Chain A
Amino acid sequence: MAAGVPIKAPVAGIAMGLVKKDDHYTILTDIQGLEDHFGDMDFKVSGTRNGICSLQMDIKIAGITRDILKEAMSQANKARNEILDSMERTLDKPRKELSKYAPKVKMMMVNVDKIREIIGSGGKTISSIIEQCNDVKIDIEQNGRVTIMHQDIFFIEKAQKMIENIIREVEVGEVYQGKVVRIEKFGAFVELWPGQDGLVHIRNLAKEHIGKVEDVVKMGDIITVKVIGVDDKGRVDLSRKAVLDSLGK
């Protein structure tokens, strides 16, 4: 609980003993030292307030009836609750936060077809993510489960973002804010997110006819664009005009 592991409930354990002489018997709570091996039965029970989690019992004599066992178990139950009371005075539930030195973990599911892209040729893409995110640990399982681990949640989230960007797919009709990253005679390349560019052809830059791309946008501008098509090579066609049209400007 101190480590912030979200366990269902605190668990306590107790060692019990039993000494039997003829028909008389005595059940002992919390046996120690001398009582260790002198008894006729010893058992250890652990559990939560709700019930038993583990039990170990050694009985050296015959004649331990169900009633005796029942009594012993109920005496153990009482002791277990007393120990839980004592523990809860120190800490009564798991902490919300993990230690700042503990590895934090985030899990995400990705489409199995995308695993290759995340890894990249010869592991290039994933190595680059790991490098940029302070040696974050990334496990990718065959079923598409990606586990990202690092002591610092900041780097986990950064890596998560980078992976999300790789697996994100452009959808036709979607509107994005993007940055102009390259200007050519025939149009402007706009970065929708890191790793994903699209082209706004000069004829789709504005409602009116323009002579030069630079008349409307310059490098670094943030503009709103709509995806109007993706060709079979994955090249994205964008339009600024379409956005302006829908805004009725």
Chain B
Amino acid sequence: MNEKQVFVMELGNRKLQVETSQLAKQATGSCLVRYDDTAVLSVAVVGDKPTTQDFFPLMVMYQEKLYAAGKIPGGFLRREGRPTEKEILSSRAIDRPLRPLFADGFRNEVQVINTVMSVNPDCSPYVASLIGSSLALSIGGIPFNGPVAGVVVGLIDGKFILNPTAEELLLSDIDLTVAGTKDAVNMVEAGAKEVQEEVMLDAIMFAHEEIKKIIAFEEQIIAAVGKEKIAIELQVVPEAISTAVYQLEKGRIVKAISTKDKLERQNKIQAIEDEIREVLEAKFRDMGLDKDEIETNIKYVNQVLETIQVDEVRRLITVDKIRPDGRKCDELRQLDSEIDLFERTHGSALFTRGQTQALATVTLGALGEAQIIDGVSIEDGKRFMLHYNFPQYSVGSTGRYIGPGRREIGHGALGERALLQVLPSERNSPTLFESFRKFSNQTAPHRKRRSVPDLWR
């Protein structure tokens, strides 16, 4: 039985302590990260066989248990329910820097579960979770291009502050979260009180220097207790399938990509791809493959088709300096805006950029209707809420309507953060705001690819 091991460094004038080999021992990798009084248990598990899916099945969770702050859950049932907005946003902020560091073709399931066990509101449990996630994966020998680390940066009176306390954050001009490896920053998330680009860049660079120090600490831990790297079989498209697709494609997709109109372009590409899929499916059937094998092969075909598109678009942009819809690199799509679309809403506007439409309404309410947040941080009411919805019909698809997904919550939060900076203070305007965005007629994303529908696109 392994002995518990403890590693310590100083981070932002507080003690960062990592304990390994004590908890969740059957998991692939795990550790407990203590940042002052904050403690997070990070556990990583990898599936032992690759799945046949055509995406990387990574799931990152960040959960705050109210016991961490010594609180009893609100509500009738007194039981913690679905993930809070903060948990969803933190999960995303751990997922985003990790995901691109896994090799292409990684198809084994990977789960990284962070549970906040104790919280000191002045010591970000997110920072502890990201370090913990990186360590749990690394210690467990799960191959990825880590380790990673993240920090929060504040700015008060022109001075950067590493991992600011709750009070410092209130005074700060920026609330910046940066994550990265020792070589590069790979995720930035920030809210700011109308700061200049230069300041933001300096802050990101300041953060990266600190990240490097944490990573050196992580490397020391991995060297001491890390398990041997697990051999992962990467999914590779069989040569024969790749060749067959290219033979059928004959540069037709490449040509279709340079179609100006989005819908027309999509339809053209779709038609060519459907045809290729059909021809090959028939061929696979003739070869006597069973249903499952055909399905797997078609997935490979789709991957090749996607690669063709990716390569061509990247070539167009970097070499020919032409974008698929013919725009210049720094050219915006056509903009338009309209206001007062509805009679009884307190405010409404329609913003159009190219084929993307954003329909926004504003509802003003009494302060008593503010949302009370049940969480482990300092209890706070929320006076401004931005709800972002991305209905499936906006890309012309059918779909399930079951409340906002992670992505919608993430995009809504970014918009909310931006508008929060310009809102009147409670004293000057004791009103509650609720803004609701909805998108329609959004550019249809290519099938199999995640759509990125939001205010900015």
Contact = CB atoms under 8 A, between A and B. Distances in A.
A86 B348 CA distance: 17
B201 A69 contact: yes
A101 B362 CA distance: 12
B290 interface: no
B329 A29 contact: yes
Given A32-B356, A74-B197, A103-B365, A54 B190 contact: yes
B422 A15 contact: no
Most buried by A among B186, B188, B421: B421
Given A55-B190, A74-B197, A28 B317 contact: yes
Q: Tell me what chain A mostly uses at the interface: helix, strand, loop, or mixed.
A: mixed
A141 B329 CA distance: 55
Nearest to A83: B335
Contact of B449 (A36, A55, A83, A107): A36
A79 interface: yes
B346 A21 contact: no
B191 interface: yes
A19 B312 CA distance: 12
B422 A3 contact: no
B135 to A, nearest CB: 21
Given A52-B197, A62-B183, A66-B201, A139 B366 contact: yes
A37 B449 contact: yes
A34 B326 CA distance: 12
Contact of A2 (B191, B333, B339, B356): B339
Interface string B428-447: 11110100000000010110
Nearest to B384: A5
Interface of A: 1-11, 13-15, 19-21, 24-38, 43-44, 46-48, 50-64, 66, 69-70, 73-75, 77-79, 82-83, 86-87, 89-91, 98-99, 101-103, 105, 107, 137, 139, 147, 149
Interface of B: 96, 100, 176, 180-181, 183-198, 200-201, 204-205, 257, 262, 265-266, 309-310, 313-314, 317-319, 321, 323-325, 327, 329-333, 335-340, 344-349, 351, 353-354, 356, 362, 364-368, 414-415, 417-424, 428-431, 433, 443, 445-446, 449-452, 454-457
9 contacts: A2-B362, A5-B347, A5-B433, A33-B445, A35-B313, A52-B192, A53-B418, A55-B200, A64-B184
